[in-house]
Amino acid sequence: MSAVTTQTSFTSGEIDPRVYGRIDIQAFQQGAAKLVNLIVLPGGGVTRRPGTELLREISPTYRLLDVELPDSRVLIGIGANILWIWRADGFYQTLTSPWSAAQAANVRWARRRDTLLLCHPDVEPRQLFRNSTGAWELSSFPFSSAIGVAGTPLTHKPFMQFSDIEIALQPILTGDETQAIAAGVQVVVKASVPMFTAAHLNCRLKIKGRQLTINNVLDSARVTALTDEALIDGRATVDWGEEAFSAARGWPVAVAMHQNRLIIGGSRDAPDQIWMSRSGAYFDFDMGTGLDDEALAFRLTGERYHRIIGLLSNRHLQVFTAVGEWIISGDPITPANVEVNLQTTVGSLASAYVPPLSVDGATLFVSGSGSELREFLYTNTEDAYQAADLAILSRHLLSQPIDMAFDGGRRLLCIVRADGVLVTVTIDRNSNVAAWAQHVLAGSATAILATADGLFLVIRRAGRCFLQRFNDALSMDQTLIQTAAAPTVQWTGLDLLSGNNVTVTSNGRFIADTSLTSGTLTLSEAVTRIECGLRFSHVAEAMPIAGGNNGLALDTIYRTVAVTARSAATATVMLDAGNGLKQLKPESASAVQDNHMRAFGWRRPLDGPPWRIEQDSPEPFTLLAVTHEAKVNT
């Protein structure tokens, strides 16, 4: 009997082989066994991904960020003890940074206009900003302070107690302990249990609301401190706190801006604590008397220990922990009306920081297992948030993610894996599309960033590191673009590609394949523009024949009779219908065309794909639909 199937959509993306038994679901009919270097279009087809434009060589970079200025945008790369700033006009500046390579990949950040706030729990937080001369600087957080009665600066950093057991502190000065202790006096502070370390030197304490600065650590239970303001008395008390952020207790884990407050989530020794600054005073964490605009702090309390992984300002302030997802709400948030609620208990990836992203009103985050992409979304029917898994059909592609960005123009969620492979998910919530594909780049990706100016990647190749950008006009990777005022055959400035086999095109027209041994290239024809880059192959493979349909056995023997591939704006189709790759040339490279191939040979569904496309020609390629005609042995 004859079996004719037409696949008009690939919007289920590349399907996990572990789902091949589900021939009854729609995804089996709208997916592919393999999609490499192809992007699924929301309308159903697949298209060759853009090539990458090589912008400059950089130091090894593990996190890529940006800051939008009134007149431009700058990219910021964080590497091992280095931070660089790049602008499209060629501006480039480097700064020494405090983060190691491992720490750089786990830095969290928030943007406050043209200032970038950067945190890691083992390093004092920094802000990156432009000074009055236009140069960029990296400095510590400028926590607010006030001048006390004695003329001593009093910090508005947050204070807290870190121990779960009750500890009493007593400031000791010779004389009656019931008497006040003046400002500017050195006292011995004694703890009821050991709690001090050498790292407490220069840290501040607050006893009954009054501040002291530790100037010597005597032992684990005693320090000497200088009173920054007069103490109420010298009695032992449990009403005290120490600086929440210090070398002794660690530094902030995550930051966000929400409702005109700076939000800090977690620290090394207080991983489940939330601090909110005063409204409009981003570095003032003085809790005062609980007025509406004053700072507030609280713990995420639940049955499990909620170590904070990340924060995101969305419809509500969203807090992602290792074991659950919370929302913090209030209209606006004040000390009197703040509401804190646990919504779901999925948990976020802790081994590497993959930032949660807001996409079409939902928040996408990687689960703690690293193999689930969850959509954290408020639903009116449940009056609560839910977290559906978008990777359930393509779980084989989500492995050890290290970075993530959303390209709104292309509707692409881009995920960088630890092996350097880029995975994309075409997302269109209105059409219920979440289509996965994988992309093998000319090198290994280590970081990614999506901005209004394009999709930027950091690529490591042959021991070197490059900043690159997806360019829809290119069909090769690591491409250098050169122009000349008059046609020429001699081209220079190609040193970044030296030592590679390259392809040269001119405005997309093939010129030559050559081996580049230096930064100079001589062509056989004179042109005014060249694109010199590295080829990459795209691959599309069909799902196995669904032999179990229509009462047939899963391993039904079939013979492909013909395959027709409908393409658009495509010059060449390399199609394998069972007899190896054959070239098909559409009559028009600019129109929609049907490309037909006949084939022979009996086989079973799992012997190989019914059809396969693979080609590396640096040309546009779009596949809209495929018809497969077969004879089935019943």
Query: Does the residue 625 lie in any domain?
Result: yes
Query: Does the residue 576 lie in any domain?
Result: yes
| Ordered mean pLDDT values, 10 residues apiece, the chain (634 residues) | 87 96 90 98 96 97 95 95 95 96 96 95 96 93 86 91 92 90 95 96 96 96 96 96 97 98 97 97 94 96 93 96 97 95 96 95 96 94 90 97 96 97 95 95 97 96 95 96 95 94 94 93 95 97 76 75 93 91 85 88 79 95 94 77
Distance in angstroms (rounded) separating the CA atoms of residues 64 and 105 = 9
Q: 550 with 593, same domain?
A: yes
Q: 239 with 179, same domain?
A: yes
Report residue 29 CA to chain centroid gap.
31
* Confidence (pLDDT) at 604: 75
Query: Does the residue 15 lie in any domain?
Result: yes
Q: 502 with 548, same domain?
A: no
Pick from 266, 283, 384, 261: nearest CA to 332: 261
* Confidence (pLDDT) at 115: 95
Contact criterion met (CB below 8 Å) for 575 and 597: yes
Q: 493 with 552, same domain?
A: no
% helix / strand / coil in the chain, to the nearest 5?
5, 55, 40
Distance in angstroms (rounded) separating the CA atoms of residues 116 and 350 = 23
Contact criterion met (CB below 8 Å) for 507 and 482: no
Q: 520 with 577, same domain?
A: no
- Give the Å distances, CA to CA, from 107 to 164, 254, 271, 361: 28, 8, 15, 25
What lies within 8 Å, CB to CB, of 610 at 6+ separation is 542, 544, 545, 560, 563, 577, 578, 628, 630
Q: 580 with 620, same domain?
A: yes
Q: 514 with 545, same domain?
A: no
Tokens of 207: 């006893």
Distance in angstroms (rounded) separating the CA atoms of residues 283 and 368 = 31
Task: Give the chain's end-to-end CA distance (angstroms, integer).
Answer: 7
Distance in angstroms (rounded) separating the CA atoms of residues 351 and 366 = 11
- Give the Å distances, CA to CA, from 382 to 130, 171, 192, 264, 344: 46, 54, 50, 30, 12
Distance in angstroms (rounded) separating the CA atoms of residues 259 and 281 = 12
Q: What are phi and psi of 73, to 5 degrees?
A: -130, 140
Pick from 565, 569, 550: nearest CA to 595: 565
The CATH number of the domain where 178 resides is what?
2.40.33
Query: Does the residue 575 lie in any domain?
Result: yes
- Give the Å distances, CA to CA, from 94 to 81, 97, 451: 10, 9, 21
Residue labelled with tokens 């302990």: 177
Tokens of 238: 């449990």
* Confidence (pLDDT) at 4: 84
Question: What is the number of structural domains in the chain?
Answer: 3
Cα–Cα–Cα angle for 260, 262, 267, rounded to 5 degrees:
160
Question: Quick count: other Cβ atoms within 10 Å of Cβ 333?
Answer: 22
Residue labelled with tokens 């995975």: 423
Q: Is the peptide bond before 618 cis (omega within 30 degrees of 0)?
A: no
Query: Does the residue 432 lie in any domain?
Result: no
Domain span including residue 602 = 2-50+537-632
Query: Does the residue 112 lie in any domain?
Result: no
* Confidence (pLDDT) at 2: 76
Write the DSSP symbol of residue 104. H
The CATH number of the domain where 591 resides is what?
2.60.120
Tokens of 80: 């091992």
Q: 564 with 523, same domain?
A: no
3 state DSSP class of 147? strand
Outline where 199-248 has alpha helix (H): none
Q: 530 with 542, same domain?
A: no
* Confidence (pLDDT) at 552: 58
